[in-house]
Amino acid sequence: MKNEMKMEFDAISANEAFARVAVAAFVSELDPTLEEISDIKTAVSEAVTNAVIHGYDGLEGGKVNIRCSIDQDVLHVEVMDKGKGIDDIEKAMEPLFTTKPELNRSGMGFPFMEAFMDDLEVLSVPGEGTTVIMKKKIGCIPWIGDEE
Amino acid sequence: MSENFKVIDNYLMVRMPEEIDHHKSSYISENADKFIVREQISNVVFDFEDTKFMDSSGIGIILGRYKKIACFGGKVFAIHTDNRIRHLFMISGLHKIVEIMD
């Protein structure tokens, strides 16, 4: 099975819920479990929140692009912004590291993406933007059940 | 919306919304802080009964309030947490500072 969708929306916090629900709806044809849906929604929410508050520094006018594809039983999600980019990706991905503690950020965005998806890749050029690429295999657990 | 915040003795009860994300988080943090300062609150109880979704913004809300009250000996509690929320607490290390009550 192959399927693809792309969307673009304003980088404002109100769209964080829209983005995670849209990706969750797209993946529904793979018949994910409730836990898998929660995992995907959390990871997408983290990536889009990063674009809004870090990529564009909370300023309006920026756009976030999401490209999703399904290849067999694997979901690929790319979240792109054309914001300020990340100077030190390794540092940014460390648990509890945040550049915005005054906004009550926990520094757990990337660690949550890593915990809930099977693969996470972060590409960023300072001044040009950031792309987060995540993959998740859907439906591993029921398959083991079927075998028995 | 202030019915989501209730003061009982020196405890602030915060009823968390259905979805906790960055969009909702500043409202919760700002209001909780207002009560903490105005009513000289020492402990905060977060009630997750209605919560169906939470991302790391929820961790930030709790951590931020903990930092405000911990230096005065205050504690942070969580009630009505489901497996998912307890799992998020575990990954972020928050279970070390939040008392989870059933």
Average of pLDDT values for B10-18? Answer: 96
Give the pLDDT score at A128. Answer: 96
CB neighbours of residue A17 within 10 Å: 18
Contacts of A104 in chain B (CB under 8 A): 25-26, 29, 57, 60-61, 63-64
- What 3-state DSSP class applies to B98? strand
Contacts of A106 in chain B (CB under 8 A): 56-57, 59-60, 63, 92
Give the pLDDT score at B92. Answer: 94
Do the chains contact at A108 and B22, CB–CB below 8 Å? Answer: no
**Which pLDDT band holds residue B1 (cuts at 50, 70, 90)?**
low
| Domains defined for chain B, CATH in brackets | 2-101 (3.30.750.24)
Give the pLDDT score at A148. Answer: 45
Give the pLDDT score at A101. Answer: 82
Q: How is chain A classified by DSSP, letter by letter? A: -EEEEEEEEE--TTHHHHHHHHHHHHGGGG---HHHHHHHHHHHHHHHHHIIIIISTT-TT-EEEEEEEEETTEEEEEEEE-SS--S-HHHHTSTT--S-GGGT--S-HHHHHHHHSSEEEEEEETTTEEEEEEEEE--HHHHHHHH-
CB neighbours of residue A46 within 10 Å: 29
Nearest to A49 among B57, B61, B64 (CB): B57
Task: Give the pair of three-digit tokens for residue A83.
Answer: 């914001």
Q: What is the mean pLDDT of chain A?
A: 93
**Which pLDDT band holds residue B102 (cuts at 50, 70, 90)?**
confident
Nearest to A46 among B19, B55, B91 (CB): B55
For residues B61-97, one letter each, b for 16 or more C-beta atoms within 10 angstroms of the residue's C-beta and e for the rest, the string is bbbbbbebbeeeebebbbebbeebbebbbebbebbee
Q: Which of A56-60, A114-118, B20-24, B85-89 has the lowest mean pLDDT?
A: A56-60
pLDDT tens digits for A44-93?
999 999 999 999 998 989 999 999 999 999 999 999 999 999 999 999 99
How far apart are alpha carbons A55 and A83 in whole angstroms? Answer: 4
How far apart are alpha carbons B89 and B78 in whole angstroms? Answer: 10
Q: Which residues of A are catalytic?
A: 46, 50, 105
Strand partners, A148: none
Query: Residue A145: is its pLDDT beyond 70?
Result: no
How far apart are alpha carbons B92 and A62 in whole angstroms? Answer: 30
Give the pLDDT score at A141. Answer: 59
Pairing relationship of beta strands B76-79 and B98-101 according to DSSP bridges: parallel
On whether any CB of chain A is under 8 Å from the CB of B19, the answer is yes
Average of pLDDT values for A17-26? Answer: 98
Average of pLDDT values for B46-65? Answer: 96
- Closest-CA residue of B relative to A96 is B92
- What 3-state DSSP class applies to B91? helix
How far apart are alpha carbons B76 and A91 in whole angstroms? Answer: 29
Do the chains contact at A41 and B25, CB–CB below 8 Å? Answer: no
| Domains defined for chain A, CATH in brackets | 2-147 (3.30.565.10)
Average of pLDDT values for B46-71? Answer: 96
| CA-derived radius of gyration, chain B | 12
On whether any CB of chain A is under 8 Å from the CB of B64, the answer is yes
Average of pLDDT values for B53-69? Answer: 95
